[in-house]
Amino acid sequence: MSAATLGFRHRFNYLLAPKVVFGIAVIALLIAAAIFAPWIAPHDPARQDLMRAMTAPQWGGPHLLGTDHVGRDLLSRIIYGSRISLAIGVAVVLVSGAVGIFLGVISGYFGGRTDSLIQKMLEVFWAFPPLLLAIAIVAFLGQGLGIIIIALASQRWIPYCRLARAEAMALRDREFVVAARSLGASPARILTRHILPNIVPSMVVVGTFAMATAIISEASLSFLGLGVPPTIPTWGSMLADSRAYISTSWWMALFPGLAIFITVLAINLVGDALRSHFDPKLKNI
């Protein structure tokens, strides 16, 4: 093995571990399932067939993972459910990331009154117990897709903001930033060209974990009946349905939960690896 490949293997050690490969494979599979759902799903996820209601899972049968209380195919619903989980997960990460990084960088770079104003605002949003603000937003503004994304992002921007602020404060007085400033670079240019590129790795790590918790929170809202409208299949609402049939149809309770669990586990595995790869010091975020 040449020195170059050894160096490569060493540098990307964390990213080549079996559990990370597993994580990446699961995520790739999910993305494929979400995109190609109409071609992959064996049945129409909404088609009811009361004659086949609560069919047990059968290997090689028409319903691999069984059917629910109105005869809908569970596997198809789980495949379609990945669309909502992933779409909301990605959207929440992007929205909360954009807001958090923007406020954090400004807060840390400018300091002073801007900083204390943003930190006061952060404190107010942080005063709500986790998930309660999201529940309140959905309760008052309704259960549209956009509102759920805002609700789930309403507190998730805070970890980005805190870390981006700390890193921007540290970078503010580094030589290359001081040099850029003395050469007459505008604050906007310094922030986008010198500060932002340097905080990307830690923001990616925060984002990965935010995605994992966002998917769990979305499923929780759906489970509580506060998610997207019930006509759209989601893993959380499938679990809510399963409660009434728990003594007769274990598969209704098992498989949608397994889908959430494996998805979140895969994202967390990748997040852990990214954290170790970029900066072991980030361990405590």
Q: Judged by CB under 8 A, does residue 136 bind another protein?
A: yes
Binds another protein (CB under 8 A): choice among 8, 246, 279, 285: 246
Contact with another protein (CB under 8 A) among 169, 224, 232, 282: 224
Q: In the stretch 157-196, what mask flags binding to another protein with x, by CB under 8 A?
A: ----------------------------------------
Q: How many residues are recorded in the chain?
A: 285
Residues facing 67 on adjacent strands: 73
Binding of another protein by 28 (CB under 8 A): no
- Is there binding between residue 132 and another protein (CB under 8 A)? yes
Q: The tokens of 157 are what?
A: 């921007």
Contact 224, 234 (CB under 8 A): no
Tokens of 79: 């495949």
Q: Is 140 in the site for another protein (CB under 8 A)?
A: yes
Measured between alpha carbons, how far is 227 from 250 in angstroms, rounded to an integer? Answer: 23
Q: Which among 7-15, 54-62, 71-79, 140-148 is the span making contact with another protein, rule CB under 8 A?
A: 140-148
Q: Among 70, 94, 99, 254, which residue sits at the site for another protein (rule: CB under 8 A)?
A: 254
239 makes contact with another protein (CB under 8 A): yes
CB of 52 to another protein, least distance (A): 22
The residue within the footprint of another protein, chosen from 242, 270, 273, 275 (CB under 8 A), is: 242
Asked if 244 interacts with another protein (CB under 8 A), we say: no
The interface region with another protein, picked from 6-14, 66-74, 111-119, 245-253 by CB under 8 A, is 245-253
Give CA 249 to chain center in angstroms: 30
**CB-based burial, 166-190: b 16+ in 10 Å, e otherwise:** ebbbebbeeeebeebeeeeeeeeeb
Q: Which residues bind another protein (CB under 8 A)?
A: 120, 123-124, 127-132, 135-142, 212, 216, 219-220, 223-226, 236, 239, 242-243, 246-247, 250, 253-254, 257, 260-261, 264-265, 268
